[in-house]
Structure 1
Amino acid sequence: MSKINRRTVLRGILQGSAVGVALPLLNCFLTDSGRALAATGQRIPVRFGTWIWGCGFIPEKWVPTATGASFAMPEDLQPLEPYRNKLAILSGFDVKLDGVPNKPHITGCLGLRTGVPVPNESVKAPTLDVIIGDEIGKNTRFRSLEISTSGTERSYSYRAAGSPNPSEVSPMALYQRIFGPGFQDPNSVDFKPDPSTMVRQSVLSAVQQDRQRLMREVGVDDRRRLDEYFTSIRQLEEQLALQLQPPAPVQNFTMPKAPPNVPFDSEMDNVLITHKLMAGLLAKALQCNQTRVFNLLLSDTASNLRRKGSTTTHHTLTHEEPTDPQLGYQKEHAWFATRSMVAWRDFLDEVAAIPEGDGTLLDNCLILAHSDCSIAKAHAVEGIPMMIAGNAGGKIRTGFHLAGNADPVTRVGLTLQQAMGLQVERWGVMSMETNRTVPELLA
Structure 2
Amino acid sequence: MTRDLDISRRMVLRGSLNAAAVTVALPFLDSMFDVNGEAYAATNTTLPTIFGTWFYGLGLAPGFWQPSATGANFPLTPQLELFAPVKDKMNVYSGMQVFLDGKVNQNHYSSAQGIMTGYVAPTGAGYSTSLDQAILAKLQPTTRFRSIEVACDGDTKSSWSARGDSGMNPSIVSPASLYGRIFGPEFVNPNAANFKPDTKTMVRHSALSAITEQRKKLVTMVGADDRAKLDEYFTSVRDLEKKLSFELQRPAPLEACTVAGRPEGEKEGTVIEDAMHRHNLFIDLLTHALACGQTRVFNLSISQGMSGLRKAGDPTGHHTYTHEEPIDPVLGYQKMSRWFSDQNMAAFLYVIQSLDNVKEGDRTLLDRSLVFAYTDHGEARLHSMKEFPLFTAGSANGRLRTGYHVNAKGDTVSRLPLTIQHALGISVDSWGRESNMTSKPFTELLV
Normalised by the length of structure 2, the TM-score is 0.88
Calculate percent identity across the aligned residue pairs.
42
Q: Judge which range, 309-318 or 408-417, deviates more.
A: 309-318
Distance 1:407 1:241, change over 3 A: same
TM alignment of 1:207-356, pairs within 5 A: 207-356=211-360
SS of corresponding position for 2:397: helix
Partner of 1:132: 135
Could you tell me which runs of 5 or more consecutive residues in structure 2 were left unpaired when the two chains were aligned. Answer: 1-37
SS of corresponding position for 1:427: coil
Residue identity in the other structure for 2:241: E
Partner of 1:75: 78
Question: Structure 1 residue 180 and structure 2 residue 174: aligned?
Answer: no
Partner of 1:420: 424
Shift of 1:123: 3.6
Q: Distance in 2 between matches of 1:57 and 1:37?
A: 39
1:271-306 Cα shifts (integer Å, max 9, x gaps): 121111110110111111100001111122111210
Partner of 1:103: 106
TM alignment of 1:351-430, pairs within 5 A: 351-430=355-434
2:162 to 147, 150, 158: 158
Q: Distance in 2 between matches of 1:97 and 1:332?
A: 30
Q: Distance in 2 between matches of 1:375 and 1:53?
A: 13
Q: Distance in 2 between matches of 1:172 and 1:157?
A: 22
1:331-358 Cα shifts (integer Å, max 9, x gaps): 1111101111011111112111100131
Q: Distance in 2 between matches of 1:385 and 1:76?
A: 11
Q: Distance in 2 between matches of 1:328 and 1:266?
A: 28
| Cα contact 1:63–1:74 (8 A) shared by 2 | yes
Q: Distance in 1 between matches of 2:388 and 2:73?
A: 22
Shift of 1:38: 9.3
Shift of 1:36: 5.4
| Cα contact 1:93–1:407 (8 A) shared by 2 | yes
Shift of 1:265: 2.6
Could you tell me which runs of 5 or more consecutive residues in structure 1 were left unpaired when the two chains were aligned. Answer: 1-33
2:92 to 86, 89, 106: 89
Q: Distance in 2 between matches of 1:191 and 1:123?
A: 45
Residue identity in the other structure for 2:414: T
| Cα contact 2:107–2:383 (8 A) shared by 1 | yes
Shift of 1:37: 6.5
Partner of 1:438: 442
Shift of 1:182: 1.0
| Cα contact 1:299–1:305 (8 A) shared by 2 | yes
Q: Distance in 1 between matches of 2:436 and 2:150?
A: 28
Q: Distance in 1 between matches of 2:223 and 2:105?
A: 34
Residue identity in the other structure for 1:429: R
Residue identity in the other structure for 1:61: F
Question: Structure 1 residue 44 and structure 2 residue 35: aligned?
Answer: no
Shift of 1:310: 2.2
| Cα contact 1:391–1:397 (8 A) shared by 2 | yes
Shift of 1:409: 0.8
2:66 to 63, 67, 87: 63
Residue identity in the other structure for 2:377: C
Moved over 4 A (4+): 36-40
1:118-176 Cα shifts (integer Å, max 9, x gaps): 24553454111001112335211011111111212121001122421111111100100
Distance 1:399 1:371, change over 3 A: same
| Cα contact 1:138–1:235 (8 A) shared by 2 | no
Q: Judge which range, 162-171 or 369-378, deviates more.
A: 162-171
1:205-237 Cα shifts (integer Å, max 9, x gaps): 112321121112112211111111111101111
1:75-109 Cα shifts (integer Å, max 9, x gaps): 21111111100011000111111112111111111
Q: Distance in 2 between matches of 1:265 and 1:245?
A: 41
Q: Distance in 2 between matches of 1:136 and 1:148?
A: 24
Q: Distance in 2 between matches of 1:193 and 1:141?
A: 14
Number of equivalent positions: 409
Partner of 1:9: none
Shift of 1:376: 0.6
Q: Distance in 2 between matches of 1:391 and 1:246?
A: 29
Q: Distance in 2 between matches of 1:347 and 1:175?
A: 18
Q: Distance in 2 between matches of 1:331 and 1:85?
A: 29
Residue identity in the other structure for 1:214: L
